[in-house]
Amino acid sequence: MPKPLSPVLIVGARSDIARALARRYAALGCDVILAARGADGLAADKADLETRYPIKAATAECDLLSVDPDAFLAGLGVVPGTVVMVAGLLGDQDISAATDGEAGKVMESNYTAPARLLLAAARIMQPGSAIVGISSVAGDRGRASNYIYGSAKAGFSAFLSGLRNSLTKKGIHVLTVKPGFVATSMTAGMKLPPAITGQPEAVAADIIKAQTKGKDVIYTLWMWRWIMLIVRSIPEGVFKKLSL
């Protein structure tokens, strides 16, 4: 199994999935850069990684909604071998639908801001590098319960598809990850069906496996590929009558 190219820049490093990924990459011997808003709070994560694994870890302040992507990457002092975009914002559908500012924050956090940083990364990354974008099954079809978040993830998935097509000839791998339900702090309090709800460690394992195998798009947990195939196949006349 080929080792991911180091260092690994994880954007949105405060999330549960990001922390699980950091441990997985470190276990493979990759140096890790943990980037997030309020990066001072990642000092314990940095220390833990360096204690457990023979790697170097660093933290970097990165507020996606205000950062200059090119300046941020230049400030790292090293060109990442792998960039993982985990950052995102679920938001509240009802509040977002009623408030322009909240809708804009959800849309920007899940699409335009992550895409701009990945574009900047693509401009400097070398052949053999990899970009991993965490999208969502919510982007596969607009549903009344989360169409603002879902539409942003749909845009992000389309962006990653185009980026992959563009960078293939340059030898840069782009992986799109579409998680379904995952038990994280972001979904705490939600009633999630256990049989189709993943844990951060399982999602991280799926991502690492897919990257090392050169996959283009994965669903995690695996059954979400078939769940969303069914959802996409429902005729629109029927779909709009459903409470989804």
User: What's the confidence (pLDDT) of residue 192?
Assistant: 86
0.75 surpassed by pTM: yes
CATH 3.40.50.720 fits 8-239, yes or no: yes
Is 60 a residue whose pLDDT tops 80? yes
Name which of 41-45, 163-167, 225-229, 240-244 the model is least confident about.
Answer: 240-244
Q: Is the pLDDT of residue 23 over 90?
A: yes
pLDDT beyond 70 at 1: no
Which residues belong to the active site?
149
State residue 178's pLDDT score. Answer: 98
As a residue count, the chain comes to: 244
Asked whether the predicted pLDDT for residue 189 surpasses 90, the reply is no
**Residue 225: pLDDT band by 50, 70, 90 thresholds?**
very high
- Write down the pLDDT at residue 3: 85
> How wide is the angle at C-alpha 204 spanned by C-alphas 122 and 60, nearest 5°?
50
Average pLDDT over residues 99-124: 98
Question: What number is the average pLDDT over the span 69-98?
Answer: 97
Output the pLDDT for position 46: 98
* Domain residue ranges in the chain: 8-239
* pLDDT at 188 > cutoff 80: no
Banded pLDDT at 69 (limits 50, 70, 90): very high
Mean pLDDT, rounded, for 21-44: 97
Give the whole-angstrom CA distance, residue 44 versus residue 146: 34
